Amino acid sequence: NAGVTQTPKFQVLKTGQSMTLQCAQDMNHEYMSWYRQDPGMGLRLIHYSVGAGITDQGEVPNGYNVSRSTTEDFPLRLLSAAPSQTSVYFCASSYGTGAEQYFGPGTRLTVT
Amino acid sequence: ELKVEQNPLFLSMQEGKNYTIYCNYSTTSDRLYWYRQDPGKSLESLFVLLSNGAVKQEGRLMASLDTKARLSTLHITAAVHDLSATYFCAVDRHETSGSRLTFGEGTQLTVNP
């Protein structure tokens, strides 16, 4: 199993540009989440999904969209990038409630 | 709003010593997770604690959960340099729709020879 994969590993955007961060898992996990990690602040939940077709907002959803058309994929879209979105983004998946979460390798995003 | 607080945030210790990292959280939960993160890397799951009184051990690390006190501890025994990393605790906020973790700020551990 590849586990949780994320692309790209690094990205630089200009303010106002849009892009999609990709996340995929091959473990048939129902639950998937997106977090961002900023220095000194731990990780914060952006959006999450409990299954294909079901998504909900987390703690810091503004400026981001998600969709879950398949169990395997959970892309995160930045609608109009802002410097405040400079961060490291992690995707995670888990089998169910109370289960261990597996994190992807992360995408380091810089918005200038 | 669920808040998760870790202390200390920075910990420098000598090899061979013992120490404890504390994780306090503000609302009822019986699902707590500990992760390790090395610089520039992703998060590695260490422990999943799912009930009051749960205790788990792996090597020199032992984690426990007291849901009544809303407190989890990560105890390090006879520290070695390889344990240097940042340790996060995280609490799951909902019983029915899981995987909505609230993280602490992390404890940056440095083990000196």
Residue B60 has pLDDT above 60, yes or no: yes
Mean pLDDT over residues B48-76, rounded? 95
B103–chain A nearest CA distance, Å: 6
pLDDT by residue (tens digit) across A11-67? Answer: 999 999 999 999 999 999 999 999 999 987 789 999 999 999 999 999 999 999 999
**Average pLDDT over chain A, rounded to an integer:** 95
Mean pLDDT check: name the lowest of A86-90, B30-34, B76-80: B30-34
- Give pLDDT, residue A66: 97
Residues of A within an 8 Å Cβ radius of B: 31-33, 35, 40-45, 48, 50, 56, 58-59, 90, 92-94, 96-106
Q: Which of A49, A41, A112 is nearest to A83 (CA)?
A: A112
User: Nearest chain A Cα to B98, which residue?
Assistant: A97
Q: Is the pLDDT score of B97 beyond 60? A: no
How far apart are the C-alpha atoms of B82 and B102, rounded to whole Å? 27
How would you label B11-44 residue by residue, b for 16+ Cβ within 10 Å and e otherwise? Answer: bebeeeeebebebbbeeebebbbbbbbeeeebbe
> What is the share, in percent, of chain B residues with pLDDT greater than 70?
95
* A57: nearest CA partner in chain B: B100
Asked if the model's pLDDT at residue B45 lies above 80, the reply is: yes
Task: With a cut of 60, say whether residue B19 has pLDDT above it.
Answer: yes
Q: Rounded mean pLDDT of B81-86? A: 97
